[in-house]
Structure 1
């Protein structure tokens, strides 16, 4: 699929997910460039604000974990150009155990899996049903994304909280207008930009998930 930068749009069709700082990096020999990854993660955290006040805890969780990883990165940028190097250095300094950064990255990874699933399902529903009015309600999208990602890591209270969140999510058109930076009638372009954004997002998450499994810091997906 084409990158956002490769998709020609008319002037004024800039969207949230077309901003360079929000785009997840291309892998470099299988490694994730740390700085661009963290910038893109902050972009995801800020996007969660479009989902309304009910999602503030999700936004704060993602952003808080970005800060934990960024603090580690800022302490030695030259030695942690790639995320895998950052993980290795943090583990080495803590005797193979979680440090603040690797534990923060564990939960950041899980939050990203949820957001990746939600955005993917939102795009899929838009694409598969030509009558877009029938798929404006995203409650099932949020619920299904949660079932596939965060649910297995949560206790009873968190699970109940997410049930409430699934009913508080705004309609898709409201979210897409925010993605369009307040412009009207750009739903199709916003969906296209999200679609393109998802390519590198998914590759980054998949590599990170696998690396945590390899390092025995997380268990494989069921």
Structure 2
């Protein structure tokens, strides 16, 4: 029997976030999934990833605060942003912009691993960072995030952590297969939501 994995314990998977026929994304489930995904950086096992996680969690809080302040106007992520912008404020909308950037980085990092499991995880994260967040970060932020990328565990230890297997113990082929299946499902759903929100943010009503 394969081990219980990190995915099994998630409060919300991106694969379980409701997406409407019009691509509207349910706010509560989206924020739960984003916060759940942020715990992946705990699994990576280095304090160097703390700024990466903090960035995601901080932006989730901005959206959650707006949702709590105006629940009737925030049932979907898109409605939350548009309705906030009508008040001439953009705290949550700016938080969403950075949250989507962080989610895109995470999705690309994991996609690189899925597509090339022989690539070192640190290289997967470093490559994804260069293609996503790096272009939005200041010269002061880049070294902080580059340090985190280099602190990623090797692939075997990554799987051990995802399956809560003690250091040095073998990871069975069955457990690896389960993790890869769950990872692929999660990343595919995350990629879809990132694309939807990026397209939304290109619309005039989403700008400030």
Q: TM-score range by the shorter chain?
A: 0.7 to 0.9
Distance in 2 separating the partners of 1:211 and 1:141: 27
Q: Tell me: CA distance 1:120–1:70, structure 2 relative to 1, closer, same or farther (3 Å).
A: same
Residues matched between the structures, number: 197
1:171: Cα distance to partner? 1.1
- Which residue, out of 26, 35, 47, partners 2:28? 35
The equivalences for 1:1-222 within 5 A come to: 13-19=3-9, 21-24=11-14, 25-29=17-21, 30-51=23-44, 52-94=46-88, 98-126=89-117, 134-135=118-119, 137-182=120-165, 184-185=171-172, 186-215=175-204
Provide the rounded CA distance (Å) in 1 between the counterparts of 2:71 and 2:155. 39
Query: How far does residue 28 in structure 1 lie from its aligned partner after superposition?
Result: 0.8
Gaps spanning 5+ residues in structure 1: where?
1-9, 127-133
Structure 2 alignment gaps of length 5 or more: none
Q: What is the SS of the residue equivalent to 2:116?
A: helix
CA contact (8 A) 1:21 1:36 kept: no
- The alpha carbon displacement at 1:19 in A equals 4.3
Q: Find the aligned partners of 2:78 and 2:63 in 1 and give their Cα distance.
A: 12
Query: TM-score normalized by structure 2?
Result: 0.86
Per-residue CA deviation, residues 165-185 of structure 1 (Å, 9 max, x unaligned), is 222111122222222244743
> Alignment partner of 1:190: what SS?
helix
- 1:131 matched residue in structure 2: none
Cα deviation per residue 1:38-82 (whole Å; 9 max; x = unaligned)? 000001111111122110010111111111111111223333111
* TM-score, structure 1 normalization: 0.81
Q: Stretches of 4+ moved more than 4 A in 1?
A: none
Residues 172-202 of structure 1, C-alpha deviation per residue, up to 9 Å, x if partnerless?
2222222224474322211110001112111
